Structure 1
Amino acid sequence: MPKQYEKVIGFIASETGYSEDKILIKTRLYHDVGLDGDEAEEFIEAFAEAFNVDMKGFEFYRYFNKEGLDSLALLGSLFKTKRDQKPLDEITVEMLEQAALRKRWNA
């Protein structure tokens, strides 16, 4: 197991409380670990700082939901079905490892 991979796994476990034993190369932050909203935003900021990763171009709302709902979003959500909602893209441990190695987000 490469050193950077181990560091990323340790970081995810320490920041989220998710068991290191359950974190694999294909583990997804939103879908598996359950990161979302403000917690996800704080995690991404901490990841960028810890691994010195340039996150320019990172589109938060591609991967995570917004924290809470404003009144317009709440009204809109009443009339939308699951089919109307765009599924979130995945961020995997492998993607984080690659960003840590390259020192920039490139997904």
Structure 2
Amino acid sequence: MSMANELSIELREYLKRCGLSERMIARCNGNTRMYHDLGLYGDIAEAYMEELADHYHVDLSGFEFDKFFPPEFAGKNALLGALFSILPFAGYLARQHNEYLPLTLKMMENVMRTKQWRAGAHE
């Protein structure tokens, strides 16, 4: 019995729509974190959140992206951005230095069900 069975059919469909492989989804459970465990950040994480708004009609007006996900690259300037694109591991290390709140699949499922991001939902 796979752990993915813990996830609702709707949540699994959402993850599939966003491009997560069946193999990755099978490893997920309600406590799987979007950034910390799945490694989602920047444009890809934004696309996941946009999918919630566009396809699932979730109101994300109170959602503060920067609290949960690093930007596309951790550098504050173009030179660092270029360096991180050449040496992706350097970007990975730089992103690890910051603390980001966990955004779990259980939280995502709740947001899909209630159709809105509640401030404090992560606490």
Task: Report the TM-score when normalising by structure 1.
Answer: 0.76
Supply the RMSD in Å over aligned alpha carbons.
Answer: 2.5
What is the CA-CA distance between 1:6 and the residue it aligns to? 1.6
Q: Which amino acid aligns with 2:30?
A: I
CA distance in 2, matches of 1:15, 1:21: 15
Provide structure 2 residue ranges, at least 5 long, that are not aligned to the other structure.
81-93
Relative contact order (alpha carbons < 8 A, sep ≥ 6): 1 or 2 greater? 1
Q: How many residues align?
A: 97
The 3-state SS of whatever aligns with 2:8 is helix
CA distance in 1, matches of 2:59, 2:111: 9
Following TM superposition, the consecutive aligned residue runs of length 4 or more in structure 1 with deviations greater than 4 angstroms are: none
CA distance in 1, matches of 2:27, 2:53: 23
CA distance in 2, matches of 1:5, 1:15: 15
State the match for 2:77 in structure 1. Answer: 71
More helix by share: 1
Q: Identity rate of aligned residues, in percent?
A: 29
State the match for 1:21 in structure 2. Answer: 26
Task: Report the TM-score when normalising by structure 2.
Answer: 0.67
